[in-house]
Each structure stands twice: as structure tokens, then as C-alpha cells.
Amino acid sequence: MSAAMSSERQQYWLEHLQAAEASEDSIAGYARSNDLKPKDLYMWKGILARRGFLDGAAAVAPKSEFIEVVPAKPQPAETQFVVTLPNGVRIECQGELGSGALSSLVSALSQVA
């Protein structure tokens, strides 16, 4: 806690919020199982967080079975092609080749044959 607790009521709700976090249940589930209204528990969570009585949002974060999955950045596909002209000239390209460069290459090759 980062500030002095100013009332018994705040202490009461803080203890419930800490117990809710320690439980295996969600905040709403904890509230219902302890004859509390879930909206009151959420309201006090906000009040106490704003007043600095909670150690960050993780202090009473809802339980979740989901984990964050961050997809890997797609790797650019390695482009590779080989052109063999009728006169035996062979051209090999590997790596990125923009549409402008590819167009110029095709145009140049059409004039070589």
C-alpha cells in the first residue's frame, strides 16, 4: 500500500479485494460466494486503485486461463529463379526483386534472344 488507509470501510474492501485475488475464482465469483455485490467490489477496486491503495492493476487482476500469443513476424519468402536463353545465356536471381526491376529484366531479356 502506498498511502495510509483512511477508513475501516476502505480496509474492509481492500481485504476483500486481496482475498479475491488470492482465490481461484474471478472477482465476480468471489463476490457472489461471499454475499457481496460484484459491482460493489469492482467499484471499490477502482476507488482504491485511484487512491493508491493497490499495488498496480495486477494486484487484483481477474483470473484468466488465456495466455497472450504473439505471432512471429513473417519472414520474406526467398525468391529464386533461373532464366536460360536460347543462345545458352543463363541468368540466376536470388532474393527480393521489385516489380520495376523484374519488368526491366524481362524487357532486356526479350531483346537479347
SS3 readout for the chain: CCCCCCCHHHHHHHHHHHHHHHCCCCHHHHHHHCCCCHHHHHHHHHHHHHCCCCCCHHHHCCCCCCCCCCCCCCCCCCCEEEEECCCCCEEEEECCCCHHHHHHHHHHHHHHC
- pLDDT, one tens digit per residue, over 51-101 is 888 765 444 445 556 777 788 877 766 777 787 877 777 778 877 777 888
- Give me the percent of the chain exceeding a pLDDT of 90: 20
Q: What is the pLDDT of residue 60?
A: 46
Q: How confident is the model at residue 6 (pLDDT cuts 50, 70, 90)?
A: low
State the average pLDDT for the chain. Answer: 78
